[in-house]
Each structure stands twice: as structure tokens, then as C-alpha cells.
Structure 1
């Protein structure tokens, strides 16, 4: 069964031609009062499945696994809450990506990567630390693949002109 952003199991009920996806989410109170059932749109579940691992790799490049998982839960929780609004945006993928990047940025400082822009930094971390292909970076960030390629080509790593890696110390940040 797929796993919801909260870490709980999703159950699927099919009635006639309609399928309802239900997730049980703990209430989060100090004492266990019960649980509440939330219906997550299938589009959100698909988005979560597609992007979770890359989002986690980006977050883990900046913080511990525990902190990265917490940042992801918060980001996906925010996305789930505002999912219909996100889908109405011109580029829902970019909108969702920015929510994650803001969460990570609030919790951890940027790495020293020698980038010239905020977007180039994100592309470099996803490609060189998280090991994402150019197309995977584009799919994750909402950028066009040609822009991703340009940002990677114009990047000059600190202390290693023309190198294709951020550095040995940073490449160990994200487990493969």
C-alpha cells in the first residue's frame, strides 16, 4: 500500500466507478483521543509518490535525516492543505518545490556551492548531491530541461574551476 505524507497507511475503497482514498492521521494531541479520516485527492497521492524521494534527498543535503523527514512532513502537509490552490497555479510543480525549499531554508543554512543564483543553487544540489538527472531536476523543480542544462554548464564550483562535483566533503552529505 502507498504511504501518506503523515507516514500512515492509505486505504482505497471502490464503489461502482468512483474510488475514494482515505488516510488515517493521528490528531497530534498529547493524549491519544482518536484519529481523523482525511480523503486525499488521487492527484496529490501521485504527486507525493513522484516527488518524495527527490525532495527528501534535497532536504538531507542540508540537515539530518530526522530533520529532513520533519521538513518534508510539514511541506507535504502544507501542500495537501492548499492542494486545489496549487493546482490552479500556472506551474504547480514549481509552486510545490518552492514550498519545500522555503521549509528547508528556514531550518538549515545553504551549502557553499559557488552558485550565482538561488535557482542555480537548487539545480546544483539536486544534480550533484542528490544524483538527479537533468530531466529529473526539471521534473522536480518545474524548470525546463534546457534551463537546467544551462545552469549546470555555467556553474563554477568553489576552488575547482571546471569541476563537475561540489567537493568530496559535500558529496558525502547525501547517502545514495
Structure 2
């Protein structure tokens, strides 16, 4: 990911503008995005319609890039990056997705869940987007057993009409949906 080439149009007096510095992202950051970018985008699209979803994801990844030096010092950089990305997406989405009433984190928070963000994110990745528990855990930087527990704990406290609800127009990728474990 590099910045666009600067304009070479001369300034008044024949001077050329200063070129902005080339931005080269660390290979580990690019690897993180290559590994999880599609899941992150799916999560953003579950919260906002395009093109807002892509813009919000871009902002979230920009924040991850800015914090990258601190993130890679953590014991679990993937979990730290997920926290930044998912928090930014939830905060910036403004409930503009296909069926935001069924996906708002507030629904889960007032139902008394122990870890509302974890349980909500696991629900969106697994039940709404159709990722396996292992794939959801990988995207979140969490242990699969923790994601499985979050799903089971959340299902016990969420209204039956919401559990397993898929918003209109948001279907899982072919072959990605797994039975509930």
C-alpha cells in the first residue's frame, strides 16, 4: 500500500512541490490485512452498507497502522488489532447496515451478557457471516474455546427471535456456514 504519486505541476516561480514521503507499511501489518481483511470487511458490511463499510474499515485499518508499533509489542497482536477494528466499526457504523436493528451491540448489552463485545462479535462472525468458530476465533485473535463459550453464553441470554437471525441481503459465503457446535 503506497501513497499516490504527487503532482509534478510546477508551482509559481518554476518551483516543484515537495513530494510527500512514500508510505511503506510493515510486512507484518500487510500480512495481518491479507489474512483477515475479508473477515474485517464482512464485519463492516454487517454494520454499514457500501460504500460506508469500506470507508469505515479504511479508517479502522488506518488506526491500526498508526498504533502498529504498540500493537506488535502486545502478547496477542491479532486480538489487539481486532479490538481496534471492531470497536471503530461499531462506533462509526451509525446503524446504516441492511438490518441494523437486529445487529446493534446495545441489544446484547442490556440482556446482561458477561462479555458483550466478545459475545456480540462472535455472533456476527459466526451466526451472521457464517464463519466457522475457528475462523471467527482467528479473526478475533481469540481461542476457539473462548469463542465457542461466548456463542453458547450469548444464546442462553438473547431473545429467541434474534438468535440465528440473518439480516435481509446478508448471506454467508458459499460453503462457509457450519452447524452450531
1:89 paired residue number? 74
Give the TM-score normalised by structure 1: 0.72
Q: Which has the higher helix share?
A: 2
Task: Identify the residue that residue 63 of structure 2 maps to in structure 1.
Answer: 78
- Larger deviation: 48-57 or 97-106? 97-106
User: In the alignment, what sits opposite 1:159?
Assistant: 160
* Structure 1 position 172, deviation (Å): 3.2
Larger radius of gyration: 2
Residue in 2 that maps onto 1:24: 3
Kindly tell me: are residues 171 and 153 of structure 1, through their superposed partners in 2, closer, same or farther at Cα, counting changes over 3 Å?
Answer: farther
Change (3 A) 1:150 1:41: same
Partner SS, residue 24 of structure 1: coil
Q: Judge which range, 142-151 or 103-112, deviates more.
A: 103-112
Q: 1:127 to 1:175 in 2, by over 3 A?
A: closer
Query: Deviation of residue 35 (structure 1)?
Result: 5.4
Judged with a 3 Å threshold, the aligned counterparts in structure 2 of structure 1 residues 77 and 174 are, in CA distance, closer, same or farther, namely: farther
Residue-pair matches, total: 146
What pairs up with 1:1-150 in 2 under 5 angstroms? 4=1, 23-25=2-4, 36-107=21-92, 108-109=94-95, 111-112=103-104, 115=108, 116=113, 117-150=116-149
Report the counterpart of residue 169 of structure 2 in structure 1.
172
How far does residue 153 in structure 1 lie from its aligned partner after superposition? 2.1
- CA distance, structure 2, for counterparts of residue 60 and residue 26 of structure 1: 30
Kindly report the root-mean-square deviation, in angstroms, between the aligned alpha carbons of the 2 structures: 2.5
- Provide the rounded CA distance (Å) in 1 between the counterparts of 2:3 and 2:57: 18
Q: Distance in 2 between matches of 1:26 and 1:88?
A: 32
TM-score by length of 2: 0.70
The answer to whether the 8 Å contact 1:97/1:141 transfers is yes
Unaligned 5+ segments in structure 1 are 5-22, 28-32
Structure 2 contact 3–23 (Cα < 8 Å) conserved: yes
Taking a change above 3 Å as real, the CA distance of residues 95 and 159 of structure 1, as seen in their structure-2 partners, is same
- Structure 1 residues 153 and 98 mapped into 2: Cα distance closer, same or farther (>3 Å)? same
**Native 8 Å contact 1:58 1:125 kept in 2:** yes
The ranges of structure 1 where at least 4 consecutive aligned residues each deviate by more than 6 angstroms after the TM superposition are: none
